[in-house]
Structure 1
Amino acid sequence: MRPILFIGTLLLTFTSAACIADVAPKTQAPSITLEPTPINQNGFVYCVDGSVNTFNPQLSSSGLIIDPLAAQLYDRLLDVDPYTYRLIPEIAARWETLDNGATYRFYLRKNVSFQQTSWFTPTRKLTADDVIFSFERMINPQNPFNQVNGGKYPYFDSLSFANNIQSIKKLGQYTVEFSLKEPDASFLWHLATHYAPILSAEYAQNLEKSGYQTQLDWKPVGTGPFFLDEYQPGQFVRLFRNKDYWKGQPKMQQVVIDMGAGGTGRISKLLTGECDVLAYPAASQLKVLRDDPRLRLTLRSGMNIAYLAFNTSKPPLNDLKVRQAIAYAINNERLMESIYYGTAETAASVLPRASWAYDNRAKITEYNPEKSKQILKELGLDGLKLNLWVPSASQSYNPSPLKMAELIQADLAQVGIQMNIRPIEGRYQETSMMDRTHDMTLSGWSTDSNDPDSFFRPLFSCAAIGSQTNLSHWCLPNFDDILKKALYSQQLASRMDYYHEAQDILAQELPVLPLANSLRMQAYRYDIKGLVLSTFGNASFAGVYREAEVDEQNHKKEAVK
Structure 2
Amino acid sequence: MRTKRLFAFVLCVCILLSCVSCAENVKQNETDGTDLPVNTEKPTETAPVDVAPTYQETLTIGINQEPSTVMTPTKGTNAMCQMITRSTHSTLLDLDPETGEITNDLAEEWSVSPDGTEYTFKIHEGVLFSNGEECTAEDVKFTLEQRVPNGALAPLVTSIASVEVVDKYTVKITLTGPLQDMKYTLAGPPCSIVCKSAVEAEGDEGEKYGTGAFAIAEYVQGEYVMLQRNEDYFGEKPNTKNLKFAIYLEDSTRQLALETGEIDVCYSPANADLVYIQSNDNLKLISVSGVNIYYIGFNTQAEPFSNEKVRQAIACCVNKEDAITVAFDGYAEVATNVMAPAIPLYQDVSVWELDVDKAKVLMKEAGYEGGFKATVWVDRADEEQMAVLFKENLKEIGIDLEVIRLEATTLKAKWKDDDYQMCIQKFGNTGGPDISFSYVFASTASANRSRINDPYVDQTIAAAAVEKDLDKRSDIYRELNEYITTTAYWVPICIPQVFAAIKTGLEGAKYSGNTSHDFTYACLPES
Normalised TM-score (structure 1): 0.78
Q: Which of 444, 450, 475 matches 1:463?
A: 444
Indicate the structure (1 or 2) with the bigger Cα radius of gyration: 2
Q: Distance in 1 between matches of 2:301 and 2:64?
A: 31
Matched residue, 2:74 = 58
Q: Aligned letter for 2:140? A: V
Q: Which of 244, 249, 252 matches 1:264?
A: 252
1:292 positional shift: 1.8
Q: Which of 453, 475, 497 matches 2:475?
A: 497
Query: Is residue 351–residue 482 contact of structure 2 (8 Å, CA) maintained in 1?
Result: no
Q: Which of 457, 478, 486 matches 1:479?
A: 457
Query: Is residue 297–residue 450 contact of structure 2 (8 Å, CA) maintained in 1?
Result: yes
Distance 1:70 1:428, change over 3 A: farther
1:341 positional shift: 4.1
1:127 positional shift: 0.9
Matched residue, 1:196 = 191
Matched residue, 1:345 = 333
Q: Distance in 2 between matches of 1:101 and 1:489?
A: 10
Q: List runs of 5+ in structure 2 lacking aligned partners.
A: 1-54
Matched residue, 2:508 = 530
Q: Aligned letter for 2:450? A: S
Query: Is residue 376–residue 423 contact of structure 2 (8 Å, CA) maintained in 1?
Result: yes
Q: Which of 116, 132, 136 matches 2:141?
A: 132
Q: For 2:233, what is the secondary structure of its paired residue?
A: coil
Q: Distance in 1 between matches of 2:419 and 2:85?
A: 32
Q: For 1:547, what is the secondary structure of its paired residue?
A: coil
1:174 positional shift: 0.9
- Say whether residues 1:251 and 2:266 are aligned partners: no
Matched residue, 1:170 = 165
Q: For 2:439, what is the secondary structure of its paired residue?
A: helix
Q: Aligned letter for 2:405? A: P
Q: 1:89-488 maps to which residues of 2 (within 5 A)?
A: 89-116=104-131, 122=132, 124-138=133-147, 152-157=150-155, 159=156, 161-162=157-158, 164-207=159-202, 213-216=203-206, 220-360=208-348, 362-363=349-350, 365-376=352-363, 379-380=367-368, 382=370, 384-392=372-380, 400-427=382-409, 430-433=412-415, 435-449=417-431, 451-464=432-445, 467=446, 469-488=447-466
Q: Distance in 2 between matches of 1:385 and 1:281?
A: 36
Partner deviation per Cα, 1:161-201 (whole Å, 9 max, x = no partner) = 23x22321111111110111211111111111122110001
Q: Aligned letter for 1:313? A: Q
Q: For 2:134, what is the secondary structure of its paired residue?
A: coil
Matched residue, 1:513 = 491
Query: Is residue 224–residue 245 contact of structure 2 (8 Å, CA) maintained in 1?
Result: yes
1:337 positional shift: 2.9
Q: Distance in 2 between matches of 1:426 and 1:258?
A: 21
Partner deviation per Cα, 1:123-175 (whole Å, 9 max, x = no partner) = x32111111010111477xxxxxxxxxxx434222x3x23x223211111111
1:377 positional shift: 5.1
1:99 positional shift: 3.4
Matched residue, 1:5 = none
Distance 1:433 1:342, change over 3 A: same
Q: Aligned letter for 2:154? A: F
Aligned sequence identity (%): 26
1:108 positional shift: 0.6
Q: Which stretch shows the higher mean deviation, 226-235 or 318-327?
A: 226-235
Q: Aligned letter for 1:189? A: Y
1:275 positional shift: 2.8
Q: Distance in 2 between matches of 1:318 and 1:389?
A: 17
Q: Distance in 2 between matches of 1:538 and 1:505?
A: 30
Normalised TM-score (structure 2): 0.83
Matched residue, 2:84 = 69
Q: Distance in 2 between matches of 1:154 and 1:44?
A: 28
Q: Which stretch shows the higher mean deviation, 429-438 or 400-409?
A: 429-438
Q: Aligned letter for 1:156? A: A
Q: For 2:389, what is the secondary structure of its paired residue?
A: helix
Q: Distance in 2 between matches of 1:194 and 1:477?
A: 31
Distance 1:139 1:305, change over 3 A: closer
Distance 1:226 1:435, change over 3 A: farther
Matched residue, 1:7 = none
Q: For 1:246, what is the secondary structure of its paired residue?
A: coil
Q: Distance in 1 between matches of 2:148 and 2:274?
A: 44
- Say whether residues 1:547 and 2:525 are aligned partners: yes
Q: Distance in 2 between matches of 1:275 and 1:410?
A: 41
Q: For 1:545, what is the secondary structure of its paired residue?
A: coil
